[in-house]
Structure 1
Amino acid sequence: MSEDPLLTSLLAAVAAAPEDVPLRLHVAGQLAAAGRATDALSHVTTALSVDPGNADALAMLRRLTAQLTGGDTPAAQPARPDPAPVDPAPANPDSVDTDDEPAPSPQFDWARAEEQVADIAASYETGGGPVEDVDAAVRPTVRLSDVGGMEHVKERLEMAFLGPMRNPEMAARFGKRPGGGLLLYGPPGCGKTFLARAVAGELGARFSEIGIADVLDMWIGRSERNLAEVFRAARRNAPCVLFLDEVDALGQKRSHLTHSGGLRNTVNQLLAEMDSLSGDNDGVFVLGATNHPWDMDPALRRPGRFDRMLLVLPPDPPARAAILRHHLRDRPADGLDVDRVVRATEHYSGADLAHVCDTATERALADSMRSGTVRNLTTKDLLTAAREIAPSTGPWFTTARNVALFGNSDGSYDELAAYLKKRRTP
């Protein structure tokens, strides 16, 4: 059977815009008129997955389901006459008509169908999203003073972000609205999440950490809906610090997503929500964290979105000392020379330092189990562990060096370039 050229064009348009509900319903109507009710029903159910409460889609669902099941729609059901009295069986069995009368088609259960559609709509509205996590967000007690070292990062946070939030009247005199977006970037394991919690503690705001698993969904339209609800819940709980971890996964360059319409729409939704930071998002402070800011869509870096970037580098010597003391505080130790370990762990991330402490502890624990008596952890154990563990920041700096040298045309990575030039990196 040859395909109608108009229908072929409409199906191609649907393939190019799979979430265009009016277009999909128009195609469903054309398919139904062409006698292809099953194909039409497939398009209607897809439309309902995008817009569960669409009245036109629900009405078409009724018509198509009735057509496929042989039933009538409620509006078309004629009044049935009372059944005629049944004559008693004839005396002569041979005179009985042996042709079976076809049984009438069962009537479609519209009440049950509407309940099922309502259940589907409810699941799309409330299921799969991180709404409860945002509404249950707590106010962290950690402060920037609890962050060891990193004085440069603290100063930048205070001047560019925290200061205007603490002084809204003065900020208003300079035309600065409360709220905004700040992007923390740097090698993994260097404390970006801890800094975000400290910012929430400084502001006395609720803190909600959102990861990609809380937003991305396999069903069409669900990721965008989850992301929109995240921001709505943050507005309800203002003042709130909304921390988007691995934001590069949610905001990938759209030029790299030509074959992934769902992810493109998620990026578009994030852009729209970030745009409202200059409007109805007062009291919502959006912090993003990423290891690869160069993979983010450039539109996310425009004014009103993540227009401020802060480089979070591996902990400096005071920070390394604080991290080591924190991880060793409850372990048996004997005259540890923490400063010596600090000098041996340049470029180590906070996670690397925790690994060093765990590895050194395992060595002392193994000796203790062999001897049957507790052997305290020593500086030698820590130094040996540090030699065995290479800093995990090396691959990141290799990539970052290329970006700073060849991809810094707009000056976004001047701070990174200055650090690489000033210090010897792995």
Structure 2
Amino acid sequence: MDEKKKRQSMILYVIIAVVIVLILRSVVYPSVSSGAVKDVDYSTFLEMVDTNKVKEVQLNTSTDAILFTDGTGQDATTYRTTLFPDDTTLVSRLEKHNVQFSAKIEDTSSDIWLYMLLIYGLPILLLVLGGWALNRQLKKQAGDDGPSMNFGGGGFGMGNMGKSGAKVVAGKETGVTFKDVAGQDEAKESLEELVGFLENPKKYEAIGAKLPRGALLVGPPGTGKTLLAKAVAGEAKVPFFSISGSEFVEMFVGRGAAKVRDLFKQANEKAPCIVFIDEIDTVGKRRDAGLTTNDEREQTLNQLLTEMDGFDNHKGIVVIGATNRPDTLDPALLRPGRFDRRVPVELPDLAGRKAILALHADDVKMDGDIDLDVIARATPGASGADLSNIINEAALRAVRMGRSRVTQEDVQEAVEVVIAGEKRKSTVLSEREKKVVAYHEIGHAMVAAAQKGQAPVSKITIVPRTSGALGYTMQVEEDEHYLVTKEEAMQQIAVMCGGRSAEELIFKEVTTGASNDIERATKLARNMVTQYGMSDKFGMVALGQVQNRYLGGDTSLTCSEGTAQEIDAEVMRIVEEAHQNALQILRQNQFKLHELARYLQVKETITGEEFMNIFTRDNDYLPKASE
């Protein structure tokens, strides 16, 4: 049930409670009176008695309240006052003026019962009636009529609180097949076998093969793990149960285990089917004996392990889990017989990126001359979600520009928007700052162009972006690289140092503009020392361990404190060596540095072709990193 329906249910509950209170109040305190009662003071009462205006008096002995009238019939007015203490002359005064008087003793026994009813009975009645009404509403919205109460799962709840909450979609209604998934050919091949078993299990049983009980999709965010799971159900045309791992974890112990039992009970009734658990690391984290253990989460995990062992896989129930933190999963969950198959869903390569762009481009009206290969080369490391966003941003830009079709310019600008953010039109750089940024970016580009093996420059700009960058230099690889040599890594660090080196060489001072360059250069140098074994001092020794590889890949050192200090010194040496290499290249091409920086300062944005035409003109010697 979504939040809107929940709010509607609560509003209905409040309305019912208010109506019940109003009804009870009208019953307990009926607003029926013979006429208005006028309050007066005691002296006025005595004065009216002495002037023979009072006809009838009634005294309430419990509250000392006096009700009296000045006549009889419908024209009489009723007054109220309070008996004055120690007044012994009132009775004789009333007798003297022929006033009829009487005393009333109230029966307080009914007030006690009324008090008990209001204090205890009314809240209980409201709770029962309101809960009953809310329960019926929840059942109605969930498609399950009847006001039944649920006591399962170790906790008390109303309605479907013990239910799994899984979203059930018929396989043919998922709307996704393997044709809708691009850039993950290896993952699709691994999952096609599951589709074949779900479609024709007898073919596998005839040879004695057993269907894998579960498949674990592992990869970075945005690579299409959920899409692949839906595609399996769509291809096999079987029901698709979808639930997030966080929905199992409850505050009350036992509730999560009850949801697991209910999920597999429903799956068993609708077999063959797919059970998809997204972000399974939420419930499947490794168990330990630490003080921070969560009993509810561990009970839920134990129940999940039991259910995966207990169901009959001949019926065709396949559990597909997705996570980007496989290193945190419990080993018992990963053993054969539970998640038998681990399917990597990695970031797409060049061919995969091109296929994904083409898939999403089919849904958008685009010019026929758009070169998606250029876009694929400009987006290394982009996930399927990133590429889909690029196509969508290009379509939005085409609408803003008043065009009916997406052009190559729209797509290229969309790449820059996704990478660096929108242009900051409100930021106006001073001439001094504009000059510094121009030299900084040309410094990057010249060091990259002068070194062998570096990606060619495709664009240089000094237009500020919303990401905080005051300018950037875009490089595009000609071919896909899967290995990086030590020399190439040193050249990459030198390119990162090119901007700061240009500032030092021309302005004899440094700015804060190189902060991101310094961060990236230091990270790469540290990885060379601790992970890649590219340090002459430490050799081929692993000094760090990668954690959360699919979520940034932070490294924690696995060495002594003394070794850590030596690592810091080696990292500084590598960065400084690349820094000096960048300075040497810029000194030998200082005239070109001035020429290109002035040209960029005027035009603000230049292409890689414009840059190379000026850089290589009358320049027969290009220094290399080894020189």
Give SS of 2:315's match: coil
* Corresponding residue number in structure 1 for 2:382: 348
Q: Please say if 1:189 is aligned against 2:222.
A: yes
Aligned-partner Cα distance in 1 for 2:387–2:291:
37
Native 8 Å contact 2:218 2:344 kept in 1: yes
* Corresponding residue number in structure 1 for 2:205: 172
For residues 358-403 of structure 1, what are the alpha-carbon distances to aligned partners after superposition, in whole Å with 9 as ceiling and x for unaligned? Answer: 333344343x2xxxx4374322332233244349xx9855756969
Q: Tell me which of 410, 413, 420 is aligned to 1:384.
A: 413
More strand by share: 2
Aligned-partner Cα distance in 2 for 1:281–1:168:
7
Alignment of 1:38-53 (within 5 A): none
Native 8 Å contact 2:212 2:337 kept in 1: no
Aligned-partner Cα distance in 1 for 2:255–2:263:
12
* Corresponding residue number in structure 2 for 1:54: none
Q: Please say if 1:294 is aligned against 2:327.
A: yes
Native 8 Å contact 2:183 2:349 kept in 1: yes
Alignment of 1:81-96 (within 5 A): none
Aligned-partner Cα distance in 2 for 1:210–1:397:
22
* Corresponding residue number in structure 1 for 2:277: 244
Shift of 1:287: 0.4
Letter in 1 for 2:260: L
- Tell me how many residue pairs correspond in the alignment: 301
Shift of 1:293: 0.8
Greater Cα shift, 351-360 or 168-177: 168-177
Shift of 1:202: 2.4
Alignment of 1:157-306 (within 5 A): 157-159=191-193, 161-178=194-211, 180-255=213-288, 258-277=292-311, 279=312, 282-306=315-339
For residues 42-96 of structure 1, what are the alpha-carbon distances to aligned partners after superposition, in whole Å with 9 as ceiling and x for unaligned? Answer: xxxxxxxxxxxxxxxxxxxxxxxxxxxxxxxxxxxxxxxxxxxxxxxxxxxxxxx
* Corresponding residue number in structure 1 for 2:371: 337
Q: Tell me which of 133, 143, 151 is aligned to 1:121.
A: 151
Aligned-partner Cα distance in 2 for 1:309–1:198:
17
For residues 149-185 of structure 1, what are the alpha-carbon distances to aligned partners after superposition, in whole Å with 9 as ceiling and x for unaligned? Answer: 42222222235x3444445334324433346100010
Cα 1:299–1:147, aligned 2, differ >3 Å: closer, same or farther? same
Cα 1:330–1:158, aligned 2, differ >3 Å: closer, same or farther? closer
Q: Please say if 1:146 is aligned against 2:180.
A: yes
Aligned-partner Cα distance in 1 for 2:304–2:555:
28
Cα 1:276–1:155, aligned 2, differ >3 Å: closer, same or farther? same
User: Which structure 2 segments of 5+ residues have no match?
Assistant: 1-108, 133-147, 421-519, 521-547, 559-627
Native 8 Å contact 1:241 1:284 kept in 2: yes
Native 8 Å contact 2:170 2:238 kept in 1: no
Which TM-score applies when normalising by structure 1? Answer: 0.59
User: Which structure 1 segments of 5+ residues have no match?
Assistant: 1-99, 406-426
For residues 284-330 of structure 1, what are the alpha-carbon distances to aligned partners after superposition, in whole Å with 9 as ceiling and x for unaligned? Answer: 11100111111111110112111210101123444433432343345
Native 8 Å contact 1:206 1:239 kept in 2: yes
Alignment of 1:360-371 (within 5 A): 360-366=394-400, 368=401
Aligned-partner Cα distance in 2 for 1:135–1:381:
39
Cα 1:387–1:136, aligned 2, differ >3 Å: closer, same or farther? closer
Letter in 1 for 2:385: A
Aligned-partner Cα distance in 1 for 2:364–2:176:
23
Aligned-partner Cα distance in 1 for 2:195–2:390:
34
Letter in 2 for 1:339: D
Native 8 Å contact 1:248 1:296 kept in 2: yes
Cα 1:257–1:293, aligned 2, differ >3 Å: closer, same or farther? farther
Letter in 2 for 1:238: A
* Corresponding residue number in structure 1 for 2:189: 155
* Corresponding residue number in structure 1 for 2:577: none
Aligned-partner Cα distance in 1 for 2:204–2:163:
32
Cα 1:318–1:130, aligned 2, differ >3 Å: closer, same or farther? farther
Aligned-partner Cα distance in 1 for 2:390–2:330:
36
Cα 1:187–1:374, aligned 2, differ >3 Å: closer, same or farther? same
Cα 1:281–1:275, aligned 2, differ >3 Å: closer, same or farther? farther
* Corresponding residue number in structure 2 for 1:359: 393
Native 8 Å contact 1:177 1:282 kept in 2: no
For residues 184-236 of structure 1, what are the alpha-carbon distances to aligned partners after superposition, in whole Å with 9 as ceiling and x for unaligned? Answer: 10011111111111111222211111113533322332111112111111111
Give SS of 1:389's match: helix
- Greater RCO (CA < 8 Å, at least 6 residues apart): 1
Native 8 Å contact 1:191 1:350 kept in 2: yes
Give SS of 1:347's match: coil
Cα 1:165–1:133, aligned 2, differ >3 Å: closer, same or farther? closer
Shift of 1:124: 3.1
Cα 1:280–1:322, aligned 2, differ >3 Å: closer, same or farther? closer
Cα 1:154–1:353, aligned 2, differ >3 Å: closer, same or farther? same
Letter in 1 for 2:214: G
Cα 1:363–1:168, aligned 2, differ >3 Å: closer, same or farther? closer
Alignment of 1:386-425 (within 5 A): 386-390=415-419, 396-397=549-550
* Corresponding residue number in structure 1 for 2:451: none
Native 8 Å contact 2:170 2:237 kept in 1: no
Which TM-score applies when normalising by structure 2? Answer: 0.41
Aligned-partner Cα distance in 2 for 1:305–1:296:
13
Native 8 Å contact 2:184 2:348 kept in 1: yes
Shift of 1:347: 2.1
Aligned-partner Cα distance in 1 for 2:412–2:187:
28
CA RMSD of superposed structures (Å):
4.2
Native 8 Å contact 2:198 2:272 kept in 1: no
Give SS of 2:210's match: coil
Aligned-partner Cα distance in 2 for 1:330–1:165:
31
Shift of 1:130: 5.4
